Amino acid sequence: MASGFRSKLVRLCEILRDPHHVASFQRYCGVRGTFCRDSLNGHRHCRAEGEAADRQGRGEGETGDCNGRGDGEAEDRKGRVEGEAGDAPWRGKHAAADGVPNGLGKCVARETVRLRGASAENGDGGSKTPTCASAVKPRRRNSLTGDDGQEFLIENKLLYYLFTFGTELGNELFYITFFPFFIWNIDPYVGRRLILVWVWVMYLGQCTKDLIRWSRPASPPVVKVEMFYNSEYSMPSTHAMSGTAIPFSLFLLTYGRWEYPMPLGLVLALSWCVLVCLSRIYMGMHSILDVIAGILYSALILLLFYPALDVVDTFNQTCPYAPLAIISLHLGLGLFSFTLDTWSTSRGDTAQILGTGAGIALGAHLNRRLGLLPDPSQWQLPFSPPPFSAALLAGTVLRLLLGVVVLLATRTAMKAVTIPVICRLVGVPSHDVRQARQHMEVELPYRYIVYSTVGFNCFFLVPFLFSYVGLC
């Protein structure tokens, strides 16, 4: 009985991990790839660019060609591209084992034409072009390889912009604006604890990726709407983890502390979570299984660590040895995470997350000692949102603009200074920054120093400037 349940569970996981479900969702949302050209017999054929690598991964007897096949000829004509090169990566533990880079199949058409599943086909195998489709390329290049991806078609611009916004809710630009905005303008008490949750969730998620080492969904059949994180591992989705942890932690931390209807808070948290999770499938970055695992993993972390939030935050604020403990703990966690795998961009993200958490904790400790950004008095609970006014809006906008400018300037200056200095200290050539950052001894201190400085300034330097110019 147990073995039957296990086999059913394994089968379910295989189904949820199938990249064709991702491709089907993309087509339903109006995303079309530009992978291969139609041949006269109605099948898709594309010659692999890396035949030698494919032969090493699959055996000398295989040709490296990928022949599309579907559930039927009608489905095949709608643009479903699959085969050895598309199926192998998602089944293996690591894409390199199949001769295919992480989630990006090496099937490259000699003569590409745009596939439109909803278009009527001509007698010669061509397709009619829908007038509403727009040709687009991924907005940002791959953070490791510099690959700018393949052009694709967008037939529903509303969904494209909606899911682009959703995926940005898990990216650096959002974090560097949302967290500071909340700290400077709403409630620093909640902001500190929210960042603690974010650090725990993201650190464990990134480490788990490097332990499981599953590749991204294969392309084709998946269209890579985003390329920036394509070199990272896939399981679990850390966007789904943060998209679950942040909104629901925000609800748990603010409900009862601030006056607002419970249904409103739950609906906003759920909407945030669903938008981020669906955006990762739309972008072609994660399978359905990755996203579900990210949600469940994040919920488990919240269940275990949320009760400790008060103890940890109080220790960081009041203990005289907190700065030493904060620095040591975050550095130790970073060193541990860098031993889990060879190079991947998730290691740098891990150091960035730990550095931000350390900087915020140190800045908050010093802030409390100097009284720059005090927590609201507990006797005022529950807090009511202040009445809207032009002065309130002006102060909020000014604090946000001034603070974010300071943080961005800090990040830019520290990046320009840190990498050359560290490269000189460890004896790594600095003329190629991308290559230099693939050395653990460069990437770990670089990310840690830069983002710990940003986090520290968020809770210390910026509030000091606010008090100096009268924006408190």
Please provide the distance, in angstroms rounded to a whole number, between the alpha carbons at the two ends of the chain.
Answer: 64
The answer to whether the beta carbons of residues 352 and 461 sit under 8 Å apart is no
| 239 flagged as catalytic | yes
Residue where the block lists tokens 């300034």: 457
Chain-centre distance for alpha carbon 130 = 32
Q: Rounded to an integer, what distance in angstroms lies between the CA atom of residue 337 and that of residue 346?
A: 10
Q: Rounded to an integer, what distance in angstroms lies between the CA atom of residue 101 and that of residue 109?
A: 17
Q: Pick the catalytic residue from 20, 239, 330, 365.
A: 239
| 43 flagged as catalytic | no
What 65-72 contacts at long range (C-beta under 8 Å, 24+ apart), as own/partner pairs, is 66/105, 66/107, 66/220, 67/43, 68/36, 68/43, 68/44, 69/43
Residue where the block lists tokens 């010093």: 366
Q: CA dist 434 to 144, 152, 451, Å?
A: 7, 27, 18
Residues near 168 by Cβ (< 8 Å), separated by ≥ 6? 174
> CA torsion sign, 108 to 114 to 120 to 126?
negative
The answer to whether the beta carbons of residues 250 and 309 sit under 8 Å apart is no
Q: What does the buried/exposed string (b/e) look like for 113-136 if buried means 16 or more CB atoms within 10 Å of the residue's CB?
A: ebbbbebeeeeeeebeeeeebeee
- Residue count (the chain): 472
What 418-424 contacts at long range (C-beta under 8 Å, 24+ apart), as own/partner pairs, is 418/445, 418/446, 418/449, 418/450, 419/446, 422/446
Q: Pick the catalytic residue from 43, 286, 330, 365.
A: 286
User: Would you name the residues annotated as active-site residues?
Assistant: 239, 286
